Amino acid sequence: VDITAVLGYQGGEQAGTGMVLTSSGIVVTNNHVIDGATSISATIAGTSHSYKAKILGADPTMDVALIQLEGASGLPTVTLADSSSAAVGESVVAIGNALDLPGPPTVTQGAITALGRTVTAGDPTAGTSERLSGLIQIDAPLQPGNSGGPLLDAKGQVIGMNTAAAADTSGYAPNVGFSIPSNNVDSIVNQIEQGRGSSSVQIGNQGTARG
């Protein structure tokens, strides 16, 4: 789904992508996509069907959030595959709402270039940053709006959630992107669905900050 978050502290909007996990509209995305939002809407990619959404929980330290599309039913879903078999050199495809452009999702191709990477991801709009670890590094181009979208392996299985891209001081983004392994995403999703809060996992909308 294409996600649009209205940001209360800025009065602007932020676009991203989400993956539908259940036919009733439970969607996983990046925390930074919905962080600070006063309202969230999600549109089924390639259609005009839009839903309001509420936050079920988030782990800001891992940049994972779970939202519920209100009144949704019968939605097509993705399945998070086992990311432990991901290997350097493996072909991948990144899908998402790049640049928040109308029409079908964008698709970029590349390969896994490194595993277990640690990066500091910044949000220029909010002026914040966070340190993320255990990431899959890819050379498939990622753009703003791709965050929260699926990273697929050669079998078409979801092995990661796209979350960040490298950029130099000119703002040019070379082909260096980063995805959260699907096993890490799945673990946090299960914890939120079970209502098990912790020092990092917050249940419900608690005004999480992009840290």
Residue 34 three-state SS:
helix
Q: Which of 111, 97, 105, 98 is nearest to 154 (CA)?
A: 111
Catalytic residue among 59, 63, 153, 186: 63
Catalytic residue among 41, 59, 83, 147: 147
Residues 172 and 150: their CA atoms lie apart, in Å, by 23
State the Cα angle at 103 between 9 and 11, rounded to 5°: 10
Tokens coding 60: 């800001």
Q: Which of 161, 112, 158, 120 is nearest to 139 (CA)?
A: 112
Residue 186 three-state SS:
helix
Residues 202 and 210: their CA atoms lie apart, in Å, by 13
Catalytic residue among 32, 153, 182, 186: 32
Instruction: Please confirm, yes or no, whether 49 is among the known catalytic residues.
Output: no
Instruction: Please confirm, yes or no, whether 100 is among the known catalytic residues.
Output: no
* 69: β partners: 53
Q: Alpha helices of 59-211 — where are they, by DSSP H? A: 182-193
The residue type found at 106 is T
Tokens coding 34: 């919905």
Instruction: Please confirm, yes or no, whether 63 is among the known catalytic residues.
Output: yes
Count Cα atoms within 13 angstroms, Cβ side, for 67: 32
Tell me which residues are annotated as active site. 32, 63, 147
